[in-house]
Structure 1
Amino acid sequence: MARKWLLRQGNADLRRHSIYVWTLPAWVVQLPSGRSMNVCPSAGVCADLCFARWGTYRFSNVRAAHMQNLMLTLEDLPRFERLMTEEVQHQRYAGRFVRIHDAGDFYSREYLEAWLRIADSAPDVSFYCYSKEITLLHRVIGKNGEDAPPNFAWCPSLGGREDRHVDLTRRHADVFPDEEAIDRAGYASQTPSDLLAVYGPERVGIPANNIPHLRRRQGTKESFGSLQRARDARLDRKNARRPPAASPPPDLEPEDSIFSRA
């Protein structure tokens, strides 16, 4: 019987650079229990412009595979970690790259820490990701990634609710309408290789996917980052007009949840 791999080979561009991919569903999904879960807790404007919510990602077999991945991590995270650790130590991954999430994100600290241990177990494999979970990654691996395994690299990706925590003078990625917009903004295009986001210039521009209704929604001049800044400014003005809310008791600090009733 042929071995069933957890990681898949990505599209033609990723295969050309020996990149394997792990994918979760994007944004809010309904679990088998009937409860809703936000797999991208810090998504902002990107949720309305996400390529992974359209096209082939909506095919029933593709969605089922991504949900299976998610449920493996939710129902038995130690088993997921054990299976993935065994897989990435296989010789087919030696000297190769693993992109963690071409959809989805680090939805909890425990899930992120499992991936860090997986990376640490396979020093001959290079792991990388884009993420909008900025504060979570800063807490777990440090703002400069000093507490991450040496073969784990990440790139903050603009368009999320935590964009304000991204140092725009350092490594980050933004999604632009096209290559011309990337060049005008002074960013380096990621088009030659997805790996440029983590191993190339610090300001990386990604051209938007060619999905007509998403391109119309984004417009011809705005990047995910500029759209998020405009949304944040609107929310700031709205909140400034509200009376201050009562503070919770010290022992009842509110916590963000990966679950949503959306």
Structure 2
Amino acid sequence: MRSSCASERIYKWTLPAFEGELPDGRRYNACPTAGVCVDLCYARAGHFRHGTVLAAHQRNLQYVLDDLPGWEAQMTEELQHRRYRAPEGGTVHVRVHDAGDYLSLPYLKAWLRIFRSAPHVTFYSYTKQVALLEKWARPDQPANFHFRFSYGGTQDGLIDPARHPHADVFPNEESLQAAGYTSQTPSDLQAVYGPNTLGLAANNIPHLKKRQGKETFRALQEAADADKPVRRHGRGPAPRLPQAD
């Protein structure tokens, strides 16, 4: 894991975003319930898509796919290192996935065991795997694990905004404040300690901001869901962003 913010002691574990191909030719989808976010994802732009960054994320995924028990054992051991033990009164945080998601039930269960093995660490995630987390994490949620559903996925309809901690991506800070959301900008730890309604301003990537326009991820997903054809055989691909006239 790598540290992303020394002052807040946040470490991150991540996978590649959405679909791709491993060096050995295997295809993968590390975000099985991604929806309109696919076309707006910062982790599918810039340096995330090339070179050492993508290679590192794909190595993480390959380890999980090829040797889940070995990966779990190594993560469990790693988290006992003194770097993950804050001075008295402090807390070390680990964000699980700044790209990718809980791609399968065995992978999620491995993480739940890891969380319980390291009660001195606070773990958190943004996730679009609403049904999976509600069934397998919520009923016996580790005290040191916090998860927040993020809009823009194919399971948005399962999110209860009055009850579930959630996040939506807005075009800018002004629009999220106008909607009554609390901004994530001051600290990513708002995902852990913030209110149910957390807003993220769109990343400053010009072509993605232009594509998103004035809508939130939630609104774009609702529009895509309303526009998608009935699928009688399987789930089919994630809905795409509505095209401009």
Q: What is aligned with 1:250?
A: none
Alpha-carbon distance between aligned partners in 1 of 2:17 and 2:155, rounded to the nearest angstrom? 17
Alpha-carbon distance between aligned partners in 1 of 2:76 and 2:40, rounded to the nearest angstrom? 33
**What is the DSSP-based 3-state SS (H/G/I as helix, E as strand, rest coil) of the residue aligned with 1:9?**
strand
1:222 paired to 2:218: no
Q: What is aligned with 1:65?
A: 56
Q: What is aligned with 1:121?
A: 117
Where in structure 2 are there 5+ consecutive unaligned residues? 86-90, 238-245
Alpha-carbon distance between aligned partners in 2 of 1:87 and 1:158, rounded to the nearest angstrom? 32
Deviation, structure 1 residue 199: 1.6
So what's the TM-score if we normalise by structure 2? 0.90
**What is the DSSP-based 3-state SS (H/G/I as helix, E as strand, rest coil) of the residue aligned with 1:16?**
coil
What residue identity is the alignment partner of 2:159?
V
Counterparts in 2 of 1:114-193, with a 5 A limit?
Answer: 114-141=110-137, 145-170=138-163, 171-193=165-187
Instruction: Find the partner of 2:76 among 64, 80, 85.
Output: 85
Deviation, structure 1 residue 255: 8.7
What residue identity is the alignment partner of 1:217?
R
So what's the TM-score if we normalise by structure 1? 0.84
What residue identity is the alignment partner of 1:78?
P
Alpha-carbon distance between aligned partners in 2 of 1:197 and 1:232, rounded to the nearest angstrom? 26
1:15 paired to 2:3: no
Contact 2:161/2:196 (8 A) holds in 1: no
Contact 2:152/2:218 (8 A) holds in 1: yes
* 1:192 to 1:31, Cα distance in 2 relative to 1, 3 A: same
Alpha-carbon distance between aligned partners in 2 of 1:109 and 1:41, rounded to the nearest angstrom? 12
Alpha-carbon distance between aligned partners in 1 of 2:6 and 2:166, rounded to the nearest angstrom? 23
Please tell me the root mean square deviation across aligned C-alpha atoms, in Å: 1.8
Q: What is aligned with 2:99?
A: 103
Alpha-carbon distance between aligned partners in 2 of 1:118 and 1:54, rounded to the nearest angstrom? 30
Deviation, structure 1 residue 15: 3.2
**Aligned length, in residue pairs:** 231
Q: What is aligned with 1:249?
A: none
Alpha-carbon distance between aligned partners in 2 of 1:215 and 1:28, rounded to the nearest angstrom? 22
Alpha-carbon distance between aligned partners in 1 of 2:25 and 2:117, rounded to the nearest angstrom? 35
Deviation, structure 1 residue 109: 0.4
Question: Higher Cα Rg: structure 1 or 2?
Answer: 1
The percentage of aligned residue pairs carrying the same residue is 53
What residue identity is the alignment partner of 2:150?
S
